[in-house]
Amino acid sequence: MSITISNISKSYKEVNALNNISFEVKKGELFGLIGPDGAGKTTLFRILTTLLIADEGEATVAGFDVVNDYKSIRNHVGYMPGRFSLYQDLTVEENLNFFATIFGTTIEENYDLIKDIYVQIEPFKNRRAGKLSGGMKQKLALSCALIHKPKVLFLDEPTTGVDPVSRKEFWEMLKRLQQKGITILVSTPYMDEAALCDRIALIQDGKILEIDTPEEIVKHYPKTLYNVRANKMYELIENLKGYEHQYSVYPFGEFVHYSDTRADFDPEALKQYLEAKKLTDIIIEITEPTIEDTFMELAK
Partner 1 sequence: MKRFIGFVKKEFYHIFRDRRSLFILFGMPIAQIMLFGFAITNEINNVDIAVLDHSKDATTQEIINKISASKYFSLKEIIEREVDIESVFKKGKVKAVLVFEKDFSKKFIKENHATVQIITDATDPNTANTISNFTSSILKKYQQELNKDVQIAYQIVPQTRMNYNPELKSVFMFVPGVMTIILMLVSAMMTSISITREKELGTMEILLVSPLKPFQVIVGKVIPYIFLSVINAIVIVLLSIFIFKMPIQGSLFLLGAESVLFIVNALSLGILISTISKTQQTAMMVSLMGLMLPVILLSGFIFPITSMPLPLQLISNIIPAKWFIIILKGIMLKGVGLAYLWKETLILLAMTLFFIGVSIKKYKIRLE
Chain residues in the site for partner 1 (CB under 8 A):
46, 49-53, 70-71, 74-75, 77, 79, 81, 83-90, 94, 97-99, 101-104, 144
The CB-of-165 to partner 1 minimum distance in angstroms stands at: 26
The CB-of-239 to partner 1 minimum distance in angstroms stands at: 47
The CB-of-144 to partner 1 minimum distance in angstroms stands at: 8
In the bound state with partner 1, the residue whose beta carbon lies nearer, of 103 and 243, is 103
The CB-of-89 to partner 1 minimum distance in angstroms stands at: 5
The CB-of-49 to partner 1 minimum distance in angstroms stands at: 5
Is the CB of residue 130 less than 8 Å from the CB of residue 90?
no
Is the CB of residue 293 less than 8 Å from the CB of residue 218?
yes
The CB-of-159 to partner 1 minimum distance in angstroms stands at: 17
In the bound state with partner 1, the residue whose beta carbon lies nearer, of 88 and 272, is 88
In the bound state with partner 1, the residue whose beta carbon lies nearer, of 86 and 186, is 86
In the bound state with partner 1, the residue whose beta carbon lies nearer, of 76 and 223, is 76
Cα-only R_g, the chain: 22
Q: What is the 3-state secondary structure (H, E, C) of the chain?
A: CCEEEEEEEEECCCCEEEEEEEEEECCCCEEEEECCCCCCHHHHHHHHCCCCCCCEEEEEECCEECCCCHHHHHHHEEEECCCCCCCCCCEHHHHHHHHHHHCCCCCCCCHHHHHHHHHHHHHHCCCEHHHCCHHHHHHHHHHHHHCCCCCEEEEECCCCCCCHHHHHHHHHHHHHHHHCCCEEEEEECCHHHHCCCCEEEEEECCEEEEEECHHHHHHCCCCCEEEEECCCHHHHHHHHHCCCCEEEEEEECCEEEEEECCCCCCHHHHHHHHHHCCCCCCEEEEECCCHHHHHHHHCC
Is the CB of residue 66 less than 8 Å from the CB of residue 47?
yes
In the bound state with partner 1, the residue whose beta carbon lies nearer, of 136 and 144, is 144
The CB-of-64 to partner 1 minimum distance in angstroms stands at: 13
In the bound state with partner 1, the residue whose beta carbon lies nearer, of 28 and 82, is 82
In the bound state with partner 1, the residue whose beta carbon lies nearer, of 146 and 279, is 146
In the bound state with partner 1, the residue whose beta carbon lies nearer, of 79 and 255, is 79
Alpha-carbon gap, residue 104 to 127, rounded angstroms = 24
The CB-of-1 to partner 1 minimum distance in angstroms stands at: 20
